[in-house]
Every structure is written in C-alpha cells, then in structure tokens.
Amino acid sequence: MDSLEKIVSLCKRRGFIFPGSDVYGGFAGTWDFGPLGVSLKKKIMDEWWKFFVENREDIYGIDAAILMNPKTWEASGHTATFADPLVECKECKSRFRADKIAKNINESVTTEEFLKTHTKCPVCGKENWGPIRKFNMMFATHVGAVLPDDDQEITAKNIAYLRPETAQGIFTNYKNVVDTIYPDIPFGLAQQGKAFRNEISPRDFILRDRECSQMEIEYFVNPTTWEDNFEKMRNLQHEFLEKIMGLPENKIHELEVPAEDRAHYSKRTIDFMFEYPNGQEELMGLAYRTDFDLTNIAKASGKSMDYRDKTTNETFIPHVIEPSIGVERLFLAILSSAYTEDEIDGNKRTVLKLPANLAPFKFCVSPLLKNKPELVQKAKAVYDKLRTKYGNVTWDDSGNIGKRYRKQDEIGTPACIVIDFDTLEDDTVTVRDRDTTEQTRTSIAEL
C-alpha cells in the first residue's frame, strides 16, 4: 500500500475525511470532513486569516455571495475560456482530461499533439480517441421559478453559475470597499469560501475535486510597483507555508509558468509545487493579474474603477497581485508531511506529527485506570481545567494506556496527560510526548 492510500485509510478510520454521500455509495469528486477533519481545516483557515488579515493593517476581509450575476463570468472571461481539454475513448466512451492522462503536454494541447503521444485509455487499454473538445467547468444552475417545460429563451434568462473561484466576488466589491473605507494603496481584500469546478476526472483524493474551499487575496497596487509587491507577496507565501503551516522547505518548489500555460488574465504566475505522495502537484499559485479584471468590470458595468492616490492625487486603475490557495490541497500537504511510520521498543506505530497549532487536540487526558473512581474524578477535574483554558482537549479512558497512546499518535495529539496514584499524593501528572514518546512528571499547575 503506497503512502497516499495509507493517508486515505487513516482519514476515514479516524474521522478526518469521508467519501461524499458514502452511505449511498459515494458521489465522485466530493468529500465530507469528519470531526477531526473539520477541526484541522478550521485551524488552517483561521491561521491563514490571522496571518494575512488580522495581523496586517493593509488587508481587509469580505464574504461575497456564491451565486453572482452571470455578467460577472462574461466580463471575467470564464464563460468563454474556463475550459479543460476533454477527450473521449471511442471504445468504452470514458471521458478524461487529456493533459492529465498523457505525458509532456499542457492544457492547450491539440488533437494532433495528443494522438502523437499514443496514450492508451486508462479504462479499457485501447488507443482509439475522439477529437479534443473544450469543456467549460462551471456548474450551471437556474435561479427563480423555472420549470422543465419552459421554453429555451425564458430558461436562458434564469441561468446562473456556482462560482468557480472566490476572486470575482472580491473584484465586484472593490468599488464598494474604496467608496466606504477608502484604504491607502497598496491594500488587499481577502476571502475564504467555497468554489465549484466540474472536473472532468476528479482524482488523487482531495487534490482534484468538484467542491473545494479557497483562500484568496487580491492585492491592489500602483502599476509602477507591481514587481516589488509581487516579490514581497512571494516571500510571505513561503513564510506562511513553512513557518505557520510547518511544511518542509525542501518539499516546496517554485515553477515559473510559461506564457502559453498561464491563465488568460495573468502576465506572470508562479506555481508553488509540493511533493505529495503521488508526485509534485500544484499547492498554490501567485499571479500578477494586471488591471484585467477591474478594466473588464468597468467596460461591462459602465462604472469607474479608478483609484485616486491620497498622497500624489494620481488617478489610475490598480493592478493586482493574487495569492490563491486551495484549503484541501494545503490540508493534504500538511497530512502527508506529518504522516510518519516508526518503531518504538520493537513495535511499529503510525503517527501524525502535526504542528501544535494545527493538531485537532492539544492534549488527551486519561485516568490510568477507569475502574478507580478516585483517579477518574481527579482526571475529570484536570480535563475540565484544561478544556476551559485551551478548548481543544479530549478525554480517553478506553483500553489500556498503550492503546490510548497509539490512537492519539494517529490523530496527531501532541501530548497525553495521565493521572495516576502519585497524582493523588503530589498533584503531578505524567506527560507523554507524541514525537519522542518520552514521559515526564509535571505539576498540574504548570500545564
């Protein structure tokens, strides 16, 4: 079993992530986060918000609607260009994203280029392909009282889309923010939330799914300063990923995206690649979007997107630096970095060496024996105090103490606190470290 399969197994076994609609046989490209997964995911998102918004004076938060006026996606170019290369096997009728099943090609691959790769169908093993077609990945829906037998013209007027990115909700609110709080430039707007992409072939666990959470910043700058601000934002991403999320520096690689592979709005893009168990995949992107979005909004809406500099009185449409990261991709990067198998006293164990700021539980409190009322009562008192102070503290009195340690190792709890008979005498407890398994005596007051 490879390491990705082991991580997937652990996630379901311990309540991090379940297949979406699992009780009904699942639903491709969707995943549900269980109790421990929700805790880890929320900590990731809270740390990002704290680092990029709460600890800064130049970035502000917004929370835009998921459903937006369809003109949004026309102006942004998504209606026309947000598409992947779809190819269909003529033998078994299976459909795939061409650049994900063939080697050394990109999203702009042509039918001729794809056929030259002599790729075999992953399902039936045949090599009999139809032409490459562009498949728009936006989920369409209908808004309002629309019936299946309504004529096409009426139905078309009610079409809306589930947003494929959170960025446009920021751009459409740019003018609202400038008109209300008039921030000094450069300034940023940050948003966290759901995005939906109708992936042709969801794969690799939560790396490529149809419903995900994004964390994006649109950082508005004077056009003359974009290079300096791009470099500052690039360094900030490394600091966040390596210092706050605890990802190994040697597993993060920058890829300068060539012009032919960049999104239609980008003049420069760096993809931050991460060494996942299945190979290098994109973790996040940093893009220079120029004034593409605001200019298009101005044209489509007829409203000015100009910003007047408070110091120079200069008027211009700001350019944008955009760091964008998928929560699920970051979640998996953290899990795969933390996942460890080692041997303690001749016994193999699995341990998640999660950073303390991200672990679902900070402590696990246990009585040495659950059939001794005096130990249970004292342990409950310690548990209540720690839970009041830290919040994320768990209780475990099932099985022997060794099994409890193994369970907490698997879910990443940094320390286990055991109340024994000595505790009743001197108010000290045994604190067992997850990573080293070392045990020390500590007074309850010092916890």
d(CA 161, CA 141): 6
CA dihedral 234→239→244→250, nearest 10 degrees, is 100
Is residue 197 within a helix (H) or strand (E), and if so which, with residue range? none
Q: What is the pLDDT along the chain (447 residues), one digit of tens a residue?
A: 468 999 999 999 999 999 999 999 999 889 999 999 999 999 999 999 999 999 999 999 999 999 999 999 989 988 877 788 999 999 999 999 898 899 888 888 899 999 999 999 999 999 999 999 988 889 988 888 766 666 665 566 778 999 999 999 999 999 999 999 999 999 999 999 999 998 887 878 999 889 999 999 999 999 999 999 999 999 999 999 999 999 999 999 999 999 888 877 889 999 999 999 989 999 999 999 999 999 999 999 999 999 999 999 999 999 999 999 999 999 999 999 999 999 887 888 999 999 999 999 999 999 999 999 999 999 999 999 999 999 999 999 998 999 999 999 999 999 999 999 999 999 999 999 999 999 999 999 888
pLDDT of residue 41: 98
| 3-class DSSP assignment, residue 250 | helix
pTM beyond cutoff 0.85: yes
In the chain the domains, ranked by start, together with CATH numbers, are 3-77+159-335 (3.30.930.10), 361-446 (3.40.50.800)
Helix (H) or strand (E) holding 59: strand 59-61
Q: What is the pLDDT of residue 298?
A: 96
CA distance 327 to 322: 16
Rounded Cα distance, 22 and 31, in Å: 9
Largest CA distance in the chain: 81
| 447 contacts 390 by C-beta, under 8 angstroms | no
Surface-to-core class of residue 412, CB atoms within 10 Å of its CB (0-12 exposed, 13-18 middle, 19+ buried): buried
Q: Cis omega before residue 85 (within 30°)?
A: no
Q: Could you give the angle at which helices 3-14 and 327-338 cross, rounded to 10 degrees?
A: 100
Q: How distant is the alpha carbon of residue 84 from its chain centre?
A: 21
Q: What is the DSSP letter of 54?
A: I
Encoded tokens for 179: 């008109």
